[in-house]
A and B are shown apart, each in its own frame.
Chain A
Amino acid sequence: MALRGFASFAISKAIGAIITIFAIICANFLLFRLIPGDPIRMMFRDPRVSAEAMQSAREKFGLDKPLWGQFICYLEELSHGNLGISFWQRRPVLEVIADRIPQTLLLIIAALIMAVIVGTILGAIAGWKSGTKLDSSILTVSLALWAVPGFCIAIIFLLIFAFKLAIFPLGGISTPASGLSGFAHWRDVLWHLFLPGSSLVIWYMGEYVILMRSSMVDVLGQDYITTARAKGLKESAILRNHAIRNALLPVITMTGINLGYVVAGVVQTETVFAWPGVGRLMYDAVMKRDFPLLQGTFLVLAVAVVLANLVVDLIYGYIDPRIKVGKSE
């Protein structure tokens, strides 16, 4: 019975995601048809190209068809994984993006894990010492860092640790032409990851600090904590065995909800640190006015966020049956 309930929940979620993705594809198609000017002219960027060459390119890309025909053509090519050709790199867009995905995933995963850990610890401390100076300063600083745009934190980190102190590299993912391999290569990558990663951690962690703090305050007010105190348990034992464990629950179920925020951080941080990921690619596409590439990165990021949200929803629906009830009403 419970499993059947989950199956219908999963199917309705999946259908919702598919509709959303289709809507994204339609919007993505229409949006980039709004650009004034002739895409073929933008592609060649050279007034000397002959009219015949342009006409044949127009036919090749199906741009001589009416809008409806172009849309069918777009869907057909999309189903083959063809996202067009980058003006700037002269390579298929999907290939250009696929090259960048692992680096972005590395940055996101590393930063999110650290943000959850650091945020939870700080939140636990703040909640434990709630009402003190320490609590209010942890809360204010992490809220402040959370509200400020991510690129500001990244620039400050770059200025202090890379330019002034020169203890970390200015950008990129590895030392160019260093010929490192194996363990040395990974150490080099980690060294490059440190600054973009930690500026993201600082930006992401605010959410977890707040969650963990309020959860901790809640738990510390419960009767079983009073009982534990009355039993004469040490404060550290109460914290370790009773408070933190119970306070962690809501933090675990809330983790990873705000994917839009995560993507926003990655785009800004990758830009500042020239980290060769999808976010920096999007910035380069903007700067180079490479519309097919921009269209492709937007599509990939939007679809990825929808799919990731679907996975998160399914996992939580499976773990916590209350979510299903809450969402299906």
Chain B
Amino acid sequence: MLKFLGELEKVKGFFQLLLTHRMGVMGLSIFGGFAVIALFAPFLHTVDPSKTGAIENILLPPCHQFWLGTDDLGRDIWSQVIYGSRVSLTIGFLTATLAVFVGSLVGLMAGFYGGRIGEVLMRIVDFFMMLPQLPLMIALAAVLGPSIRNIIFVVSLVSWPTTARIVRSQVLSLKERAFVDASICIGASDRLLMFGEIMPNVVPLMLAQAVVMVAWAVGSEAVLSFLGLGDPMTLSWGMTLHFAFESGVMARTLWWLMPPIISIAVLILGFSFLGTAVSDVLKPGYREMWGL
């Protein structure tokens, strides 16, 4: 219980630190805003976003009933934008979790064991980092078929190597520290050393990496959906843009294109800011700099 409270204090302290960083405040408020929108989506003047409308409701400009107008199937664009935040946030968080989990595990193993295992693992990482990411994602997503699950898989598959490389170099330097030698002297097992001693010191790095990953995953989902590889039954922002782009009436539909673009941009920027803030705050010396 005490330990839990101690951890809670740490988390609280971390958020307090984050609030001293201007980008942290901006990032947190953008994320908070979208989280609220996603949670309360049904209460925000929305209808079912994939429900097609009557023929006289097609391609309406913004009006009292349809705040952002309707698309070429009479679907409400306001609802698409609001519900799209759920898709983006879900994909962003699941992908970031998966990619950072796998990447950290590989990085930990490669850094800790070194030798042949480390060599093989890093070769795999290097191979993935050599490939052009977007074409790889397009080819994979096209082969696997359009679904949210596949997009999460594909985006994670191309993004774990970055984390693996960063974590590995951190582990390599941690391994040389005295506290690891001390644990070895006590006779700690490899598992205890890896997960009990080294990993807690990598967690801040993993956290910063995860935040950046969310931004990257949101962007990648938008790109893949826009390129026609998203699930047509789930209206994400990228999918909305894909339908608008393919509709052939782009010229008359500023209200159709701009809201999803702005949402994508703002959400990605929010997480990029947050990523910068988190890695700044976690740098040793940040507290001292601010006299905290």
Contacts and interface: CB of A to CB of B under 8 A. Distances in A.
B264 A286 contact: no
Contacts of A156: 261
B87 to A, nearest CB: 15
B139 A306 contact: no
B147 to A, nearest CB: 13
Contact of A286 (B138, B245, B257, B272): B138
A23 B130 CA distance: 11
Contacts of A23: 127
Given A144-B265, A147-B272, A272-B245, A283 B227 contact: yes
B278 to A, nearest CB: 15
B223 A148 contact: no
Nearest to B229: A286
A233 B187 CA distance: 66
A305 B215 contact: no
Interface of B is mostly: helix
A152 interface: yes
A155 B251 CA distance: 11
B143 A301 contact: no
A159 B132 contact: no
Interface stretch (A49-57, A59-67, A189-197, A259-267): A259-267
B17 interface: no
B268 interface: yes
Contacts of A148: 219, 264-265, 268-269
B254 A159 contact: yes
Contacts of B133: 260, 264
A5 interface: no
Nearest to A145: B265
A309 interface: yes
Interface string A232-267: 000000000000000000000000000110011001
Contact of B139 (A268, A294, A305): A294
A9 to B, nearest CB: 17
B134 A298 contact: no
Interface in B7-62: none
A31 B130 CA distance: 17
Interface residues of A, number: 46
B153 interface: no
B144 interface: yes
A224 to B, nearest CB: 29
B115 interface: no
A149 interface: yes
Nearest to A267: B134
B135 A31 contact: no
A88 to B, nearest CB: 14
A18 interface: no
Nearest to A36: B145
Interface string B111-140: 000000000000000010011111110111
A124 B261 CA distance: 30
Contacts, number: 111
Given A34-B144, A159-B250, A286-B228, A147 B132 contact: no
Interface string A288-305: 010100110110011001
Contacts of B142: 285-286, 289, 291, 294
B261 A305 contact: no
B222 interface: yes
Given A149-B223, A268-B223, A287-B228, A31 B139 contact: yes
B134 A152 contact: no
B139 A295 contact: yes
B83 interface: no
B106 interface: no
Contacts of A186: none
B92 to A, nearest CB: 13
A271 B227 contact: yes
Contacts of A286: 138, 142, 227-229
Nearest to B246: A287
A191 to B, nearest CB: 19
B143 A282 contact: no
B216 to A, nearest CB: 9
B135 A267 contact: yes
Contacts of B228: 283, 286-287
A268 B134 CA distance: 9
A282 B135 contact: yes
Contact of B261 (A155, A271, A289, A306): A155
A272 B250 CA distance: 11
12 contacts: A31-B140, A147-B268, A147-B269, A148-B219, A151-B226, A151-B241, A267-B227, A272-B245, A291-B143, A305-B131, A306-B130, A309-B130
Given A264-B223, A297-B135, 4 more contacts: A152-B222, A152-B264, A152-B265, A260-B131
